[in-house]
A and B are shown apart, each in its own frame.
Chain A
């Protein structure tokens, strides 16, 4: 989230896309209801299913899954054609005025630079025209046809209400009703929030689905403001923390890029990775500090071994030559290129996509270690119903770990608050903390290198483990290491602004610097609602002494944009930060604390971007600088905008690239659209072990539109088979009007809903005659991912439905 949960109550309009907060985040949902009940805010839910969120929304739009770019594109078009954008904000706080190179084009669904052989773009033309000073050229009147503003207006002029309706299935009148509500939100005294979750992420166009919403928010001047922003609801208690600490392969902690082959020193790396200043008034804070953040990270990792003379051992950092994302792991295993795999805190077999293929990948390993508190479909896959254990050579080790209630440490919520928690109970049985297991494994690997040598032992030997017990690090010690130290004074760092690139500071993750300063662990703070006068001095709900929010305890990111050019809040009733003549007050400013906005050299508001402003046009996505609607890889219709380039031209096709048979189905064989999701009663797969929750949703089922059920003579409670090109589920039917037929591109389509929570492990499976043989929802989902992040397309695929 750019903002945070409590801040949602400050809004006038809530757009919810690709999310079902009432069911997935019921506790956070209180703030949606507070906005509605206390301010009269309106709530619009656009979703394939009428859910428990839709039930309390003001408007529900039944929408075809994966078509949100068309929806947001239509809203962008409405705002631009009717001049409803926030003029001063767009001119001064976005790159609308930047002039784009003449070589940049967009024709028939393809941006300039496309190579059909490589299925990728050369993005050289996705850039600004530069002047003699080397900076981007701008036209503040926005009239030049090559300005971002005019190119964008032309791009989205194709997204008329009729086109939006034919793609999304939303009736034109209903779309127009929402468009007129959204159109009001560009006024300075109005603000809208957009809330999303993996319903936007898990598509081959996932990154662009999200970006299209962000572009709309920039146009309306809603980024950086209380009650506004782009707010991602994270799917687990600590998934935000995972992301921040680089659970994804393509980043280092704190969203620094992973080094690439050919980069031999820190300067090479920074030149290739850091944002570049493209406007004289851009501070480019991230760009100019990139090297300090990296150097402090290297010092945290390699300690005394990292010196100026050896470039702080940048040479030790892996530089992956190829993609190493989630699906790639199983793709490599399928190709026989992996020997072993350690799974910690998740179950690959259930998570998928294409669970049958994933289990085949697990069967191709020599060994598999599952670190978990309870049995999972991965620890048990070798003797799953229907499996032949003797044919699976993989040796499986189950290493019992502690549950999170058995350890302390931090949870980082969707709103970026790092909240420290206490251990509730001591570890049970022989379970050990995950980090102790890893520390033990590491020490043994290190010993092997010590005893036997090896190809490249130096990085292993150099890693610092400055804990009281290197085999049993305390989470408190790790939190201090993440925060970092000033090596000259020995004190813990208070801010990343003081990090150095000369090896005198450390930071395990620069965005967490300041969470644990010398004064103590700020994540433990609990200055909450018991005393709002003291703890929420602005009355805006920032509660700065409740836990700690990255970066620097800032509660709303980009908050310089919440105030006008003079430093006065766009809406004085909902201030983010305010210039009082000598300094910025309110939230922790995302800006130099004493920089006078009237100073002719004052920095532009978005200090982390090279441009200094928000990007309506961006070359940081591999599939286009403007979001464009592409069909899911499996779709019943052709893209009406450009049928010849219907699906994303750059989605990575794993099976094809590996020479494996095609595992995509067409609408003749698989005529219905399906989407997968969670229910409020369960948490992923682990709650299959919790009897009280199993009682609430005891058996796997699929939700079937009533009209389709009638065609097939299916009643609620009947057994049905849902199949895709990849596999099948055999579960119960729940017939409902909440999923109805819709008209898309002139044709009637049905969507089927598939909750994901079941498998062959847990209370339900144990008591069922089938032992959950065909209960894995991800047996259906396609093994294909987003072009940028390679997130699997869990949310849109084709299936068939039969009564059994």
Chain B
């Protein structure tokens, strides 16, 4: 695959074929020279990584939902696995709040934190709706998935996609990935797997995600905000203002009612 500047690239992560092997996590750490955190047993299914942070740019989540019956059909719905990653949002909250313009959109239409410009203010850490970004304690700057910016510049696909044995993580031009995802969704639906859905494929979630997903359940089941909630803070404020006005009106009315009752008493 020829990787060209000026084109949009991303990941299509198909959770229906993820086998939770964590090769993506290790390949990412090896390429990006991340040491990883102190080992800790998290008592949460097979997950001992815990979250995306400065040391973990890929994180395989496990949702152990095997029904308590002696026999169950798996088929991708009973033991959910999802390799989570920075979504490289079109409307990127982190970019919106970055005061130094350290966070930029690259020539591959991905979201990248320039380490030499980041001042470690942590605004992006708080703003990211997916809890992707964290401060690296050694450098004092914000870190996250770069979509292997250095590899893309050298014409190589990102390390996680390269390592994925089941093609759960696919890298490519966004338009091509979207076609692949549409076809895969249609195939699953035609096999009766109606709960399968795409997340971030269209612009309903933060204007569209360059790293989008095929999920085997509702986004909430994977700890992801659904389309109603996945909007930038600035837009949310419209609802927030309306809520405040309603609260104020209700408060005034309630006050008046209470005052009137007292007067009547």
Contact = CB atoms under 8 A, between A and B. Distances in A.
Given A27-B165, A52-B20, A45 B39 contact: no
B68 A740 contact: yes
B41 interface: yes
Interface string A18-30: 0000110011011
Interface in B29-48: 29-30, 35-37, 39-41, 43-46, 48
Contact of B49 (A37, A52, A696, A767): A696
A803 interface: no
Interface residues on B, range: 35 or more
A56 B165 contact: no
Contacts of B76: 55-56
Given A37-B17, A55-B78, A55-B79, A738 B66 contact: yes
A741 interface: yes
Nearest to A32: B166
Contacts of A715: 43
A44 B73 CA distance: 9
B187 interface: yes
B21 A33 contact: no
B71 A61 contact: yes
Contacts of A738: 64, 66, 79
B25 interface: yes
Given A170-B71, A697-B46, A743-B70, A52 B81 contact: yes
B249 to A, nearest CB: 48
A707 B68 CA distance: 9
Contacts of B70: 62, 169-171, 740-743
Contacts of B30: 692
B166 A33 contact: yes
A732 B43 CA distance: 9
Given A694-B39, A696-B25, A732-B41, A57 B75 contact: yes
A763 interface: yes
Nearest to B47: A696
Interface residues of A, number: 57
Contact of B36 (A54, A59, A691, A764): A691
Interface string B12-27: 0000110111110110
B49 A29 contact: no
A579 to B, nearest CB: 37
B48 A30 contact: no
Interface stretch (A82-90, A257-265, A633-641, A698-706): A698-706
A27 B191 CA distance: 25
B74 A60 contact: yes
Given A696-B22, A717-B41, A56 B75 contact: yes
B74 A55 contact: yes
B67 interface: yes
A213 to B, nearest CB: 20
B166 A717 contact: no
Contacts of B90: none
B167 interface: yes
Interface in B169-197: 187, 191
A102 interface: no
A119 interface: no
Given A26-B165, A699-B41, A680 B71 contact: no
A50 interface: yes
A736 interface: yes
A502 B187 CA distance: 62
Nearest to B27: A692
A732 to B, nearest CB: 6
A736 B64 contact: yes
Contacts of A680: 19-22
Contacts of A27: 165
A61 B72 CA distance: 7
Nearest to B71: A174
B191 to A, nearest CB: 8
Given A26-B23, A26-B165, A695 B68 contact: no
Given A29-B165, A738-B64, A740-B69, A763 B19 contact: no
B68 A737 contact: yes
A174 B41 CA distance: 36
A513 interface: no
A23 B19 contact: yes
A198 to B, nearest CB: 19
A716 interface: yes
A179 to B, nearest CB: 14
A33 B74 CA distance: 14
Nearest to A170: B71
Interface string B44-87: 11101100000000000000111111111111101111000000
Which of B26, B64, B71, B187 lies at the interface centre, i.e. has the most chain A CB atoms within 10 A of its CB? B71
Interface string A670-688: 0000000001110000000
Nearest to A50: B66
A23 B81 CA distance: 13
24 contacts: A22-B19, A29-B165, A30-B166, A45-B74, A50-B78, A50-B79, A52-B21, A52-B79, A53-B19, A55-B74, A56-B19, A57-B75, A60-B71, A60-B72, A679-B46, A692-B26, A693-B26, A695-B49, A696-B49, A698-B48, A701-B41, A732-B41, A737-B68, A738-B64
Shortest 4 CB-CB contacts between residues of A and residues of B: A698-B39, A717-B43, A716-B43, A55-B79
